[in-house]
Amino acid sequence: MEVNTNKVRFSKNQQDAYTFLLDMKNYEQLMPEDTKSFEIHESGKGFTVGVGALPKVGMRLKETIEPSKIIFESPAPAFEYTLTISIDAVDDNSSEISLDFKGNFNMMIEMMAKKPLTSFIETISENLEKI
């Protein structure tokens, strides 16, 4: 299953956007309105979020390529997924960001999760544009 967002304009240059998105506290303001819980992992390298009807989703920092890419992965071995955040330089005051979610789920889980996960990823992208 894949969910890809269009690039959105972010009002920070590439390096500042990278620094902003590397700070897990900043993801709380990007979450959808129906977020029930948001917890940063003790390591500071990931978070768990409960949104709407979705079960809690965990994101653990897997890899970074400064200042252009941040990759999260599932902290649970039972679920295989990644969220790649690409940050492209535009000018001194802005950047463009796209999110790419890839999950390897069985058909039943994919059918149940596709719509809420797509909405979740798109909301994060839309909220980036508002900052």
All domains of the chain in start order, with CATH = 2-129 (3.30.530.20)
Task: Give me the pLDDT at residue 36, please.
Answer: 94
- Spatial distance between the Cα atoms of 57 and 79, rounded to a whole number of angstroms: 10
pLDDT in tens, 87-117: 999 999 999 999 999 999 989 988 888 898 8
Task: Give me the pLDDT at residue 109, please.
Answer: 85
Task: Give me the pLDDT at residue 33, please.
Answer: 93
Low-confidence ranges of the chain (pLDDT < 50): none
Q: And the tokens for 55?
A: 């079960």
Mean pLDDT of the chain: 94
Task: Give me the pLDDT at residue 55, please.
Answer: 81
Task: Give me the pLDDT at residue 41, please.
Answer: 95
Task: Give me the pLDDT at residue 53, please.
Answer: 76
Task: Give me the pLDDT at residue 77, please.
Answer: 84
Task: Give me the pLDDT at residue 78, please.
Answer: 81
Residues 6+ apart with CB under 8 A from 33: none
